[in-house]
Amino acid sequence: MIPAKKRLNTLNEHWEVLALLFKRFKMVDFSIKDLQNAIKQKQPTWNNERIYKETNRLLNQEIIIPLAKSSQLEINRDIADFATFLLQEEHLGLAQEISVLVDDLARLGNRLSNAGEIEDFDDLRRFSRIMDDRVRKIIKLFLHNENAILNIVEQAKSNNAIQSLQKRYKAVIEAFDEYIEPMLEMVDIRGDFHACFTLIEQQISTQIEHIERSGKAYSDKRMLEQLRTRILEMHLIGRESLRKSADMLMPLREELRRNNLITRQAAKVLSLIRKNGVDNMLSAVQPHFVSDAQKYSLGQQRHIVAYMASLAEFEHHEYQLPEQDDVPAFVTPNIPDYQDVKAQFAKRFKKQRKKPQPLLQFLDESYPELEADEMLFLYQKLVSDNTLHISQSDKKARINIAGQHFSLYPFNSEPQADKAEHE
Amino acid sequence: MTMTQINLDALSHLQAINKKLVAGYHICEQDTLMWQELDQQIEAYSALFTALGHDLKHDSRGFYYFASDESTPNMGKISRAIALTIYILIEHFANTGKDPMRALFDEPNDLELMQTLVQLNKHLFDQLEIFSGSDLRKDVYLRMVRLGLAREVENGFMLQAPIHRYIDALMEVNEETFLGEDEQ
């Protein structure tokens, strides 16, 4: 047994080397030469003897271990996991990892339920513990994957245009296809995940009820309740984590899609331009700019040449006479003969009247079928006829005839006394 | 928008803004002073320019300009040259394994790049009477600067947000936008 403290000291001393190995080789194996080179790179002042000694120290303390039946080496898995945690160098797991654990959870749920039915409390406790362990693992995976996605996103965003587009987004697309989409399907409210948890929750609740009713193994009740809470929590954490991950990846994926679309379109348009010419292809879509300065200036010589050229081709539009049928037929105005109107007027105002009578009112009453303009025509004829006795009012009045409103100083018939004299 | 009164005293950059906009210039965030004033007084400016018969457009991608639905023949030619350059740039960046949209706005366009573009697309640039990198610089890049589509930096030109108008136009091109010889 190697004392923990001793190992920690070695880890501390060689942390730089380990981090380098970890970054360079990820999870694959490497040779003893690679290890020594790594040490030399980090400690350039050490001589070969010292490097050899330190290499052995790492091997003896099982921080670096040889692969079975090979001269290759690898970082001890437990140390690698620890390093993963320390370096936040997390790799995105597969959705299947989680779904396997969830399936296992469902199986354990059934066993737990069976154990409860036959009142085998040892088994009940055992399964509950295992389930608890699985739930923790799932939660860990969720968080781990969330961190991994954060790393992917940061990598894709960082480091500008130098990196190739393909490479930059490969990880994003993979993360989406391998993890986010299948997971989202799983945690969907109608998905397997949800159904499974509902079932397990029911099973556990039944057991809790059973314990409450029978009073047996009362100490296990709390354990089951905790398990149930943890499963519920796991579900929530999972959904939250997936939502966050999808939110982080989505903009990148959209960007990628749009970029692909633009690149493809640019290639297509350029090929069309090569075939048909720049002006033919782009004239219809080119953005326009205001250019007042140009609008009002004469322009360069070639503009004037172009203008003259278009003048030479100028043709008058031929004037087309309207067809016979297009002309609307003449409608005679429906005005009664003026002499009749005059006679009517004279007859109406022959009788004694003390007050002057408005002319328009007379017209409106006598010829209700006339249009307003026709009525005004008669009005002005009557007004300008100097054989009639009328006078203009000096008060402005609003008059309504044939549905139209007029505002005018109306002419009225003069009181009859005068009129009688003249006649 | 109901605007009963425009306080002209508050529009301290009116003259500069008007001068730029009527010349077809796009004011974007890099034009700090004018941009800030437009941003803060947009109602007043909008009302004022509308009354003067202009159509002040604010594009949410970060620029203001006067919209127009036709160009003078000369402006039209410039616009097509700019369009062609942008589309060739996108293709060039994609071919060299870069993220085209990012490279478009993040990479300075220097004379060397211009020469490469013209060499690789001689056939196309010939149609616009652009025969060399320095022609491209003079006929396209300097004009983009005058329209606010690019700014000159130490080692070339940086494209700016109004380039999005050309990307929108790019997405509109298809077989139907082709004008036959007789329609020209």
Q: Which of A61, A87, A113 is the last residue of a domain?
A: A87
Q: How far apart are CA A277 and CA A269, in angstroms?
A: 11
Report how far apart, in Å, the C-alpha atoms of A418 and of each of A226, A403, A404 are.
117, 34, 33
For residues A144 and A90, the answer to whether their CB atoms sit within 8 Å is yes
Give pLDDT, residue B1.
47
Q: Enumerate residues 6+ apart whose C-beta is below 8 A from A247.
A: none
Is the CB of B13 inside 8 Å of chain A's CB atoms?
no
* pLDDT (mean) for A252-263: 81
For residues A71 and A32, the answer to whether their CB atoms sit within 8 Å is yes
Residue A293 has pLDDT above 70, yes or no: no
DSSP A320-352: -PPPGGGSPPP----PPPHHHHHHHHHHHTTS-
* pLDDT (mean) for A80-95: 73
Q: Which residue has the higher pLDDT, A317 or B102?
A: B102
- Assess if residue A262 is contained within a domain: yes
CA–CA–CA angle A195, A199, A202 (5° rounding): 140
Q: How far apart are CA B136 and CA B123, in angstroms?
A: 14
Residues A42 and A127 in one domain: no
Is the CB of B66 inside 8 Å of chain A's CB atoms?
yes
Q: For residue B27, what are the β-bridge partners? A: B64
- Assess if residue A283 is contained within a domain: no
Give pLDDT, residue A331.
66
Residue A44 has pLDDT above 80, yes or no: yes
Alpha-carbon gap: B12 to the closest alpha carbon of chain A (Å): 23
HEC readout, A175-230: HHHHHHHHHHHHHCCCCHHHHHHHHHHHHHHHHHHHHHHHCCCCHHHHHHHHHHHH
Q: How many folded domains does chain A comprise?
A: 3
Q: Enumerate residues 6+ apart whose C-beta is below 8 A from B156.
A: B108, B109, B110, B111, B113
For residues A94 and A103, the answer to whether their CB atoms sit within 8 Å is no
- Beta strands A411-413; A357-358: pairing state: antiparallel
For residues A160 and A256, the answer to whether their CB atoms sit within 8 Å is no
Give pLDDT, residue A418.
46
Q: Enumerate residues 6+ apart whose C-beta is below 8 A from A336.
A: A367, A378
Q: How far apart are CA B96 and CA A27, in angstroms?
A: 32
Report how far apart, in Å, the C-alpha atoms of B89 and of each of A209, A416, B76, B96, B100 are.
71, 97, 20, 11, 8
Q: Domain of A218: which CATH number?
A: 1.20.58
Q: Which of A217, A243, A273 is the last residue of a domain?
A: A273
Residues A242 and A150 in one domain: yes
* pLDDT (mean) for A13-24: 83
Question: Which tokens hold the place of B4?
Answer: 């009963």
- Assess if residue A76 is contained within a domain: yes
Q: Is the complex ipTM more than 0.95? A: no
Is the CB of B137 inside 8 Å of chain A's CB atoms?
no
Cβ pair A161:B123 closer than 8 A? no
Residue B145 has pLDDT above 90, yes or no: yes
| Element containing residue B56 per DSSP (H, E) | strand B56-59
Q: Which residues of chain B lie closer than 8 angstroms to A281, CB-CB?
A: 173, 177-179
Residues A107 and A250 in one domain: yes
Q: Which of A231, A258, A273 is the last residue of a domain?
A: A273
Residues A109 and A239 in one domain: yes
Residue A344 has pLDDT above 60, yes or no: yes
- Assess if residue A248 is contained within a domain: yes
* pLDDT (mean) for A285-295: 72
Give pLDDT, residue A17.
86
Q: How confident is the model at residue A168 (pLDDT cuts 50, 70, 90)?
A: low
Q: Which residues of chain B lie closer than 8 angstroms to A277, CB-CB?
A: 127
Q: How far apart are CA A392 and CA A407, in angstroms?
A: 14
Give pLDDT, residue A352.
53
How crowded is residue A56: how many other Cβ atoms within 10 Å of its Cβ? 10
Q: How confident is the model at residue A419 (pLDDT cuts 50, 70, 90)?
A: very low
Question: Which tokens hold the place of B77?
Answer: 């030619």
Residue A420 has pLDDT above 50, yes or no: no
* pLDDT (mean) for A266-280: 87
Residues A55 and A112 in one domain: no
Give pLDDT, residue A355.
66
Q: How far apart are CA B88 and CA B94, in angstroms?
A: 10
Q: How far apart are CA B77 and CA A154, in angstroms?
A: 42
- Residues belonging to chain B: 184
Give pLDDT, residue A316.
67
Residues A345 and A388 in one domain: yes
Report how far apart, in Å, the C-alpha atoms of B96 and of each of A7, B79, B157 are.
49, 26, 19
CA–CA–CA angle A395, A397, A399 (5° rounding): 155
Q: List the single best residue of A253, A275, A282, A302 to mutate versus B (max B Cβ within 10 A).
A: A282
Q: Domain of A66: which CATH number?
A: 1.10.10
How crowded is residue A72: how many other Cβ atoms within 10 Å of its Cβ? 14
Cβ pair A283:B184 closer than 8 A? yes
Residues A82 and A110 in one domain: no
Q: How confident is the model at residue A85 (pLDDT cuts 50, 70, 90)?
A: confident
* pLDDT (mean) for B46-66: 88
Q: List the single best residue of B50, B57, B87 to mutate versus A (max A Cβ within 10 A).
A: B87
Cβ pair A259:B101 closer than 8 A? yes
Q: How confident is the model at residue B182 (pLDDT cuts 50, 70, 90)?
A: very low
Nearest partner of A231 among A151, A134, A123, A97, judged by Cα: A134
Residues A395 and A259 in one domain: no
Give pLDDT, residue B89.
94
- Assess if residue A217 is contained within a domain: yes
Mean pLDDT for chain A overall: 79
Q: Which residue has the higher pLDDT, B87 or B72?
A: B87
- Assess if residue A305 is contained within a domain: no
DSSP structure class, residue B140: I
Give pLDDT, residue A421.
39
- Assess if residue A398 is contained within a domain: yes
Residues A129 and A261 in one domain: yes
Three-state secondary structure call for residue A290: coil
Residues A110 and A219 in one domain: yes
In chain B, where are the structural domains located? 8-66, 73-183
pLDDT digits (tens, 9 = 90+) for B84-118: 999 999 999 888 877 788 889 988 999 999 999 99
Provide the number of CB pairs (under 8 Å) joining chain A to chain B: 155
- Assess if residue A40 is contained within a domain: yes
Q: What dotted CATH number matches B8-66?
A: 1.10.10
Q: Which domain holds residue A78?
A: 4-87
Give pLDDT, residue A423.
35
Q: How far apart are CA A116 and CA B60, in angstroms?
A: 63
| Element containing residue A354 per DSSP (H, E) | none
Nearest partner of A341 among A318, A325, A315, A360, judged by Cα: A360
Alpha-carbon gap: A24 to the closest alpha carbon of chain B (Å): 25
To the nearest whole percent, how much of chain B has pLDDT over 90?
46
DSSP A89-142: ------HHHHHHHHHHHHHHHHHHHHHHHTT-HHHHHHHHHHHHHHHHHHHHHH
Residue B151 has pLDDT above 90, yes or no: yes
User: What is the CA A340 to chain-centroid distance, rounded?
Assistant: 79
Q: Which residue has the higher pLDDT, A418 or A387?
A: A387
Those of residues 94-133 in B touching chain A at CB distance below 8 A are 94, 97-103, 106-107, 123-124, 127-128
Give pLDDT, residue A90.
65
Q: Which residues of chain B lie closer than 8 angstroms to A285, CB-CB?
A: 83, 169-170, 172-173, 177
Alpha-carbon gap: B76 to the closest alpha carbon of chain A (Å): 7
Report how far apart, in Å, the C-alpha atoms of B118 and of each of A280, A287, B114, B136 are.
20, 22, 6, 8
Residue A296 has pLDDT above 60, yes or no: no
Residue A192 has pLDDT above 80, yes or no: no
Alpha-carbon gap: A271 to the closest alpha carbon of chain B (Å): 10
Residue A208 has pLDDT above 90, yes or no: no
Q: Which residues of chain B lie closer than 8 angstroms to A271, CB-CB?
A: none
